[in-house]
Amino acid sequence: MHHGLLLIGPQGLGKAELTREIGAHLLCRQANEKICGQCQACQLFRAGSHPDFYQVQSDKQIGVDEIRDAIEKLSSKAQLSGAKVLIIHQADSMTESAANALLKTLEEPTDQTYILLTTARPQRLLPTILSRCEKLTLPRPSQEQTRQWLSAEHAGPIEPELLSLYAASPLRLSMLLREEPELSYARFNQQLEQLTLGQLDALQMATQWQEQPARLIAWLQHWLVASIQQGRYNVDQLWALSHEALGAGRYVSNPGLNKILLLAQLLGPIQQLEEAQE
């Protein structure tokens, strides 16, 4: 196996789980087609205490200090005299300095050292990182495959629109349904209908969604595309709103951002769609 492997696929597809399985296989002392599950390495890995397995991840940015610390650990001798594995989750969140710090290790890895990276946005990685990794693009499951898998995981019915929204991210939808059994796109759609009819104010809706701004933006984009396909409103207006929503999605997680104001600015024009039809 190549010492640097980049797994590419949408968020919620299961890249983190797959990289951990690959890591476990590399560390297993008796692995053939499957890990043995019995050796010391497997037992330590399962317990979350394998001394030669490292992970780097962050909800925001991965800084240079985190990468340097991981590289220093990789450079030392393997404590179990086997492989050493580093997983960098959401590698596109590395700062440029962090990515540059990783380059030398990717170029000149020590023996039996493996670096596994995951990303949903490979275009945000430095070209030099991309060129030094073997790439594995994970196929998106079909909506029917997602439905079948989720049906085995969850007892209740799942809205078709949710299946459509998260067809490529079944693990993400499964997690959301566990956390929020009443998760419903239909209620969101009803709110937008009320917005277009003047029965709900944009600021009110923005306030209700301030804790889930990224979800509102993603669902709003889905609604806008569906509205374009259905020819419900002025297509130029809908495309303009979709473009604005796409831009907002890029910086919605920025700290200090007034999320209510951002969402209200996105939702405000929705109120005018019905009037533009008259």
201 and 167 fall within a common domain: no
Side-chain-side CA neighbours of residue 236 (13 Å): 2
| Span 204-250, pLDDT tens digits | 999 999 999 999 999 999 999 888 888 878 888 889 888 888 888 88
273 and 237 fall within a common domain: yes
74 and 198 fall within a common domain: no
Tokens read off for 135: 């790439």
120 and 194 fall within a common domain: no
What is the pTM assigned to this prediction? Answer: 0.68
41 and 115 fall within a common domain: yes
Residue 7 CA to residue 16 CA, distance in Å, equals 9
User: What single letter denotes the amino acid at residue 34?
Assistant: K
10 and 127 fall within a common domain: yes
| Span 110-157, pLDDT tens digits | 888 999 999 999 999 999 999 999 999 988 888 888 888 888 878 678
152 and 258 fall within a common domain: no
- CA distances 240 to 166, 183, 220, 246, 247, Å, are 24, 28, 13, 10, 11
Sign of the C-alpha dihedral computed for residues 73, 75, 81 and 84 taken in this order:
positive
CATH of residue 43: 3.40.50.300
156 and 124 fall within a common domain: no
**Structural domain ending residue among the three candidates 128, 154, 183:** 183
Residue 278 has pLDDT above 60, yes or no: no
Number of domains present in the structure of the chain: 3
206 and 276 fall within a common domain: yes
93 and 163 fall within a common domain: no
Percent of the chain with pLDDT over 90: 46
- Domain range for 220: 185-278
196 and 251 fall within a common domain: yes
**Structural domain ending residue among the three candidates 137, 172, 204:** 137
198 and 113 fall within a common domain: no
